[in-house]
Amino acid sequence: MALLTALPILAVFGYVFVPAPDVWQHLRETVLTDYLLNTLWLVLGVGFGVLLLGLPVAWLNSMCEFPGRRLFEWALLLPMAMPAYIIAYTYTGMLDFSGPVQTLLRDLTGWGYGDYYFPNVRSLGGAITMLSLVLFPYVYLLARAAFLEQSICVLEVSRTLGSNQWQSFFRVALPLARPAIITGLSLALMETLADFGTVQYFGVSTFTTGIFRTWFGLGDHAAASQLAALLMGFVFVLILLERWSRSRARYHHTSSKYSRIPKFRLRGWTAVAAVLVCALPLLLGFVIPVGQLLHWSIKVASKGLDSDFINLVWHSLMLASLAAVFALLLALILGYGKRLNNDPLVSIASRIAAMGYAIPGTVIAIGVLIPFAWADTQLNHLSKQFFDSNVGLLLSGTLFTLLFAYNVRFLAVSLQTVEAGLGKIKPTLDNAGRSLGLSPLGVLRRLHLPLMKGSLLTAILLVFVDVLKELPATLILRPFNFNTLAVRAYELASDERLADAGLPSLMIVAAGIIPVILLSRSISKSRAGEH
């Protein structure tokens, strides 16, 4: 199963051993250093950014009580519904040299070009900011779930041993939550590595844009997939990092006693500070860009809203739900299979399968097409031989391909979440279940699934929102007469009709919001003793 998912990745890598010395020399002499440095800075910058934005709010919302907390608790997940390329469009529209902010500034002061400093949105720094603003919820989500699932007893023990609130955070809660935090971080960074829309729009050359340019512009598949292999190097480091953080110690809760977390009530300036810390990422990552989208949508509302549009919404929602359910089932099979027999082969296979998250959707789409188109050709040969008729593209011409591609791309999300969930359940519980006569499947159904309800919902939801936002694979693989909101938004924006792209973009965000709210509620309730 894992091998099947890894197939597209392997198919692209089939080209790796084809030598392409000329193109490589050209790349080395001209753009390779740029690709390397920009990618490195991007990953470091976004990594720092998502921790900076995600961790404090996770802690504040799990352990403290302050005005507006109930709102922030779920609202801080909202930026997740905002695709990175769309937030990039909105900020560029606002802050560009010819945008309203700088124009107003010039009108007020009489300055001209070059008379003043204004940070350029379309830059590496801009890309880091945009990606951090929409990816920090991954860290927030997983860290908060981890904080909430920690038995309060360990914190209380640390307090009785003389630690103050801060010390018990840094010495106990943070290390305990580390696997979850790093999972969140690595998801955010993988998404960063795979990002195409934002960096391309900002003109920052990274591996992703480099692969695309080499594959299509230079027409060299070998060099392109060798670049992709280098990109894999980055991913591999990320995965090792995540493994390493988990393997150093196994964290299982020693106590299953949960009591209500006594929330630390903030007052006065600490409360104001907490509200500010929570409000800032929410404002920048959601409220302001949505405001801009609304502004654009209202301008063109009469043009964009028709029955076609409802079709788009329906297609997008259906596709995202189907893909999310598939991804969860696959993740359960893989994750549970690994728990049952710790075969290194199974482990490696699921690692490779999970790498898809960091591979640009374009590469995956081509990787999916290679084996599927081949299989279709074989099928047609067979049917021609036996029935003297062509069956057409049974695999590569239908939604099946697209769903498969989503799974290759997003399996890491569901797998990591499911594994993190399973990791928190003590193996002794399995043994107890088995000794009481449950089959392995029974253990899964009767014990694990109820215990992991929060993690499972998280997995479904993350994939749902991701698929809703996904662009390159959808663009390449969808069947005839089948469009999604993301495709529509992209087509309008790439035709430089930003205002017209506002409405479909807004719908993507809106469709992503409802599950985000559901998710937050279920996490709050997932903690035993918390209702």
Partner 1 sequence: MFKQIALSLLVASIATPVLAGGEVNVYSARKEQLIKPLFDKFTEQTGINVNLVTGKDDALLERLKLEGENTPADLLMTADAGRLHRAVAMQLTQPVESAILQQDIPAALRDPDNQWFGLTSRARPIFYAKDNIKPEELSTYEDLADPKWKGRICVRSSDNIYNQSMIGSMITTVGTEKAQAWADGIVKNFARPPEGGDRDQIKAAASGQCDIALANTYYYGQMLVSDEAEEKAAAEKVAIFWPNQAEGDRGVHINISGAAVTKTAKNKDNAIKLMEFLVNDESQKWYAEANQEYPVKANIAPSEMLKGWGEFKADSVNLSELGKNNAEAVKILDKAGWK
Q: Residues in the site for partner 1, rule: CB under 8 A? A: 26, 29-31, 92, 96-98, 100, 103, 112-113, 122, 200-203, 205, 209, 212-213, 215-220, 299-300, 318, 322, 325-326, 362, 365-366, 369-370, 373, 376-377, 380, 390, 392-393, 396-400, 472, 475-483, 487-488, 491-492, 494-497, 499
CB of 381 or CB of 525, closer to partner 1: 381
> CA nearest 124: which of 195, 20, 214?
195
Token representation of residue 369: 């097409």
DSSP letter for 82, please.
S
Token representation of residue 517: 């709210």
CB of 87 or CB of 172, closer to partner 1: 87
CB of 111 or CB of 170, closer to partner 1: 111
CB of 152 or CB of 194, closer to partner 1: 194
396 close to 369: Cβ distance less than 8 angstroms: yes
Name the strand (E) or helix (H) holding 211.
helix 207-212
Closest distance of CB 399 from partner 1, Å: 5
Closest distance of CB 151 from partner 1, Å: 35
CB of 242 or CB of 376, closer to partner 1: 376
CB of 115 or CB of 247, closer to partner 1: 115
CB of 266 or CB of 493, closer to partner 1: 493
* Alpha-carbon distances, residue 122 vs 85, 94, 96, 189, 254 (angstroms): 12, 12, 8, 20, 50
DSSP letter for 173, please.
I
CB of 341 or CB of 481, closer to partner 1: 481
Name 64's bridge partners: 264
Residue 415, number of CB atoms within 10 A of its CB: 27
Q: How far apart are CA 446 and CA 451, in angstroms?
A: 9
Q: How far apart are CA 445 and CA 454, in angstroms?
A: 15
180 close to 416: Cβ distance less than 8 angstroms: no
Q: Side chain identity at 326, as an amino acid letter?
A: F
Closest distance of CB 474 from partner 1, Å: 9
Give residues with Cβ within 8 angstroms of 95, minimum separation 6. Answer: 101, 102, 118, 119, 121
Residue 480, number of CB atoms within 10 A of its CB: 6
CB of 251 or CB of 482, closer to partner 1: 482
* Alpha-carbon distances, residue 257 vs 263, 321, 527 (angstroms): 17, 35, 11
Name 265's bridge partners: 65
Closest distance of CB 204 from partner 1, Å: 9
Closest distance of CB 252 from partner 1, Å: 32
Closest distance of CB 287 from partner 1, Å: 23
Which stretches within 113-218 are classed as H helix?
124-149, 152-160, 165-168, 174-194, 197-202, 207-212
222 close to 18: Cβ distance less than 8 angstroms: yes
CB of 168 or CB of 200, closer to partner 1: 200
CB of 150 or CB of 205, closer to partner 1: 205
Q: Give burial (CB, 10 Å; 0-12/13-18/19+) of 486.
A: buried
Closest distance of CB 470 from partner 1, Å: 14
Closest distance of CB 23 from partner 1, Å: 9
CB of 219 or CB of 442, closer to partner 1: 219
Closest distance of CB 114 from partner 1, Å: 9
Give residues with Cβ within 8 angstroms of 1, minimum separation 6. Answer: 330, 333, 334
Closest distance of CB 350 from partner 1, Å: 23
* Alpha-carbon distances, residue 299 vs 292, 293, 503 (angstroms): 11, 10, 10
68 close to 278: Cβ distance less than 8 angstroms: yes
> CA nearest 125: which of 114, 116, 133?
133
* Tokens 């009591």 found at: 259
